Amino acid sequence: MGDKNVQEFPDSLTEEQRAAVLTCKKGILPFILLGIMAFSVGLVGPAVTVSAAKVCLTEDINGKGKKGDIIDVSDGYAYNFLIPKGKAVLATKEMLLEKKSKDDAESYHKEQEIEKKNVLAKFLNGKSITLYCKSGENGKLFGSITTKELANAIESTYNIYIDKRNLNVPEIKNFGSYEIKVNLGMDVSAYMTVNVCQE
């Protein structure tokens, strides 16, 4: 015979569902039933408050978060699974303050980075670069213009490095003027003109 204190569960139950079952078996179920009865006779409204705990994960939990994350989980999941298994600890006031400080710093740096990109976009917008190329026998462009050539032209003209992968360029096989899009990241972009002229 197995140990009567060992709770067996169907394999289909998740760890969080198992924790909820254990919580009910520890005496919370009667209060849930009482709440359902009160709702059925109109003594309470439809709002239901579920007790939650803030925990700091000590390892990556699939679908919940990564190590060091502070998350909200049900009391049952926290006290019957995460904490006993060593997968999390209760978040202390110091942890919450540290997280807020870290989040504020990341937000500040992100805003600063976006501002730098906006300044760069404002500078590049409307600017032009010129490439001189050889023509073929039919008077058209010999070959085609590549994003690498355009990135090099931007750097040599304005002393600004742009990764060629961040350029959206139409197919350029003829002489003339074309608009290109420069993706600077963080949803910031600029539009420039490339003039392709015959040597």
Of all residues in the chain, the percent with pLDDT exceeding 70 is: 75
The 10s digit of each residue's pLDDT in 89-118 is: 999 999 999 999 999 999 999 999 999 999
Does any domain span residue 75?
yes
| Mean model confidence pLDDT for the chain | 83
CATH of the domain at 47: 3.40.5.10
pTM: 0.61
Measured CA to CA, the distance from residue 4 to residue 99 in angstroms comes to: 42
**DSSP class per residue in 129-197:** EEEEE-B-TTSSBSS---HHHHHHHHHHHHS----GGGEE-----SSEEEEEEEEEETTEEEEEEEEEE
In this predicted structure, the answer to whether residue 155 has a pLDDT above a threshold of 80 is yes
Number of structural domains (the chain) is: 2
Tell whether the model's pLDDT for residue 136 goes beyond 80. Answer: no
Any domain includes 127: yes
**Are 85 and 38 in a shared domain?**
yes
Are residues 71 and 137 both part of a single domain? no
CATH of the domain at 155: 3.10.430.100
90 and 128 fall within a common domain = no
Between residues 199 and 55, the one the model is more confident about: 55
Same domain, 29 and 92: yes
Name residues whose C-beta falls within 8 Å of residue 148's C-beta, 6 or more positions apart in sequence.
Answer: 164
Residues 19, 25, 27, 30, Cα dihedral to 10° = 110
For residue range 15-51, list pLDDT tens digits in order.
766 665 565 555 545 444 444 444 444 444 444 455 7
Based on the domain organization, do 136 and 177 belong to the same domain? Answer: yes
The whole domain housing 144 covers 123-198
